[in-house]
């Protein structure tokens, strides 16, 4: 009897490839029952992962909600103009402009400094689309400018553009004035990307208005979209009318700046000064005022307070009055200003505080300030 060799159970085989039958060997399985039959494994059919179908359903639902539904709800009777894609041709390099030319702020806001140095005092803060006149181009990163109110200052070149097309009223349907703290200006009428945030008091011009949307002209030829909530819409050459009860409306507006961050010369809710709050509150109620304490000391009517020891001078102030205080040791030098918001409270930015504060006339601080009043101005006559 022939002996078969014992099987080697420890023999290793490769599993990298499926065994392949040798085509040049014919085996008659009927003659040798000891040979094992060849086994062929059919590859397992691929099936979709169980999470794929729910994901597709979710994507389709999102498309329906954010793309199809808004399209269906849009007024089909009036088509929106072509969405903003490429900017219009414009001049983008400010060095081409020279002294006497105008420039426009192309970012949300920028500080104007007393010198061409960020460590120098703030003169004011300029808002988006606000214009200046160039006076000095001799510095690489700075421009000497004259502000609308006549003050001289320095502004970083990168914040300005010589393209003033955003100020043109040609082909404009209305003027837009922002009254919210900030308004988002988007690249498209429905969604898109954020182009810029327009702060309170920003003036823009719109070439299209429909269905609660306006398309506004931005510096450097851009067009952007914003909804009409939180803005004033005026005729292209119109101005805000004076509020019927200016004093009360002015006070109601300026009180909203309580607890806002304080920054000298600031004109936005990111950082405001008392003078900046006064200018914005007056502007939104139809009265144009300058933006610095020194200039505000010249507006309105000068008020003389009684010289008596019967009660502190501060108690003779009226709501809406602008009050200016001198330094403790120098009665000729301005220190800080405040606004009277009712019969016994002041809104001001104290030198040792980081936010705008409201203080009571009976407080220790107010009584100390009462001894340092250098000027009181009343806006009532200007509003008549």
Q: Is 30's pLDDT higher than 60?
A: no
Q: Is 195's pLDDT higher than 70?
A: yes
The dihedrals phi and psi of 277, each to the nearest 5 degrees, come to -65, -40
Q: What is the mean pLDDT of residues 67-94?
A: 47
pLDDT tens digit sequence for 294-311: 999 999 999 998 887 778
What is the rounded average pLDDT for all residues in the chain? 84
Give the pLDDT score at 34: 53
pLDDT tens digit sequence for 346-365: 999 987 789 999 999 999 99
Q: What is the mean pLDDT of residues 212-230?
A: 96
Token pair, residue 330, equals 């120098």
User: Model confidence at 97, in pLDDT bands (50, 70, 90)?
Assistant: confident
Which domains does the chain possess? 94-161 (2.30.30.40), 165-234 (2.30.30.40), 240-384 (3.90.1720.10)
Of the listed ranges 125-134, 321-330, 348-357, the one predicted with least confidence: 348-357
Token pair, residue 355, equals 């936010």
Q: What is the mean pLDDT of residues 264-288?
A: 96
Rounded CA-CA distance 46/25 in Å is 33
Burial class (CB in 10 A: 0-12, 13-18, 19+), 286: middle
Task: Return the closest-CA partner of residue 332 out of 282, 374, 381.
Answer: 374
């Amino acid at each position: 009897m022939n002996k078969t060799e014992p099987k080697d159970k420890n023999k290793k085989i490769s599993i990298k490839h499926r065994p392949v039958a040798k085509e040049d060997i014919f085996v008659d399985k009927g003659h040798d029952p000891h040979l094992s039959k060849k086994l062929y494994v059919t590859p397992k059919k691929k099936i979709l992962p169980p999470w794929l179908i729910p994901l597709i359903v979710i994507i389709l639902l999102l498309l329906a909600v954010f793309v199809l539904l808004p399209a269906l709800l849009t007024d089909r009777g009036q088509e929106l103009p072509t969405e903003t894609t490429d900017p219009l041709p414009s001049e983008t390099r400010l060095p081409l402009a020279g002294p006497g030319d105008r420039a426009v702020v192309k970012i949300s806001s920028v500080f104007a400094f007393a010198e061409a140095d960020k460590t120098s005092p703030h003169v004011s803060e300029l808002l988006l689309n606000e214009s200046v006149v160039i006076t000095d181009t001799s510095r690489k990163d700075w421009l000497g400018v004259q502000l609308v109110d006549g003050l001289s200052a320095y502004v970083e070149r990168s914040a300005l553009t010589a393209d003033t097309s955003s100020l043109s009223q040609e082909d404009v349907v209305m003027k837009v004035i922002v009254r919210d703290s900030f308004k988002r200006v988007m690249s498209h009428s429905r969604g898109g990307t954020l182009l810029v945030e327009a702060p309170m008091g920003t003036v823009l011009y719109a070439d299209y208005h429909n269905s609660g949307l306006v398309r506004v002209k931005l510096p450097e030829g851009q067009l952007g979209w914003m909804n009409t909530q939180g803005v004033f819409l005026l005729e292209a050459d119109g101005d805000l009318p004076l509020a019927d009860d200016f004093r009360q409306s002015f006070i109601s507006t300026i009180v909203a700046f309580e607890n806002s961050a304080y920054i000298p010369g600031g004109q936005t809710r990111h950082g405001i000064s008392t003078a900046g709050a006064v200018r914005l509150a007056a502007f939104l109620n139809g009265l144009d005022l300058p933006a610095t304490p020194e200039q505000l000391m010249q507006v309105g009517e000068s008020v003389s307070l009684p010289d008596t020891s019967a009660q502190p001078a501060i108690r003779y102030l009226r709501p809406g009055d602008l009050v200016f205080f001198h330094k403790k040791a120098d009665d000729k030098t301005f220190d800080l200003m405040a606004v009277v918001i009712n019969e016994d409270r002041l809104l001001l930015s104290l030198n040792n505080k980081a936010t705008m504060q409201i203080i009571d006339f009976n407080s220790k601080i107010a009584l100390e300030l009462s001894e340092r009043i250098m000027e009181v101005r009343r806006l009532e006559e200007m509003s008549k």
